[in-house]
Amino acid sequence: MSDPEPLLPPGWPPPKGYSNGMAGTGRIVVTGGMIGWDEHEVLAEGFMAQARQALLNLRAVLAAGGAEPRHLVRLNWYVVDMDEYLEHRKALGAVYREILGKHFPAMAVMQIVRLVEPAARLEIEGTAVVSERLSEKSSRDGAEVAPHPQPLSHPLPPAGRGAPPPSQDLDFPLSRAAGGGWERGPGGEGLNREAFQTPSEDTEDPR
């Protein structure tokens, strides 16, 4: 089995910077919520510094499970300030591609009330699917792979509503939903495509 593949329903425009869905067969690797602190639990200062460290942490956990960014099928982003996220979306897209490459799985971005660490600005969790062939190779090469998943002792509370994912050139349907959240439709009829774009390929966003 090859790497996970994006899903595109018939008639939908191809998304840029995210996937509508992903499909894959193999061993599942799931990360916890990654925040922007280092191995000594020292939190970086500022949104972008924390975002960079959180992505590095996520990549490190994937590697510990024998997975790479290309195996990601889903990323959930939790931010405490949506305006802060939108303000940094171009720079965030460049950092994303630097650390995770040009692989864009299914994504959701949600504003929540707060995170467990009071000074944390965002948290990222990912799910990857590694093909059985690659999984067997990782085991032979000595990668430490847990045979059984361990349950969470303290489940996270429900998160808030979503916004555009932080990746590359993105102009997908998006509108304000009832209750103050955001929703997107397959065709984008009547939706605002300008105010809520995620990081683009403009000159200020290096590839």
Q: Which pTM does this prediction carry?
A: 0.67
What is each CA distance from 25 to 28, 101, 177, in whole angstroms?
9, 21, 34
CATH number 3.40.50.2300 is the correct assignment for the domain at 5-167:
no
Higher pLDDT residue, 1 or 102?
Answer: 102
The answer to whether residue 171 scores a pLDDT higher than 60 is no
The closest alpha carbon to 65, from 100, 38, 30, 99, belongs to 30
Query: In degrees rounded to 5, what are phi and psi of residue 199?
Result: -50, 135
Sign of the alpha-carbon dihedral angle for 57, 97, 11, 129 = negative
197: number of CA atoms within 13 Å, CB side?
Answer: 14
Q: What is the DSSP string of 99-119?
A: HH-S---EEEEEE-S--SSTT
Higher pLDDT, 74 or 1: 74
Say which residue the tokens 């349950």 belong to: 151
Residues 182, 77: contact at Cβ < 8 Å? no
Angle at 46 between CA 174 and CA 127, to 5 degrees: 55
> What does the pLDDT look like over 15-66, one tens digit per residue?
888 999 999 999 999 999 999 999 999 999 999 999 999 999 999 999 999 9
Q: Could you tell me the CA-to-CA distances from 142 to 31, 43, 64, 147, 171 in Å, in that order? A: 20, 31, 11, 14, 43
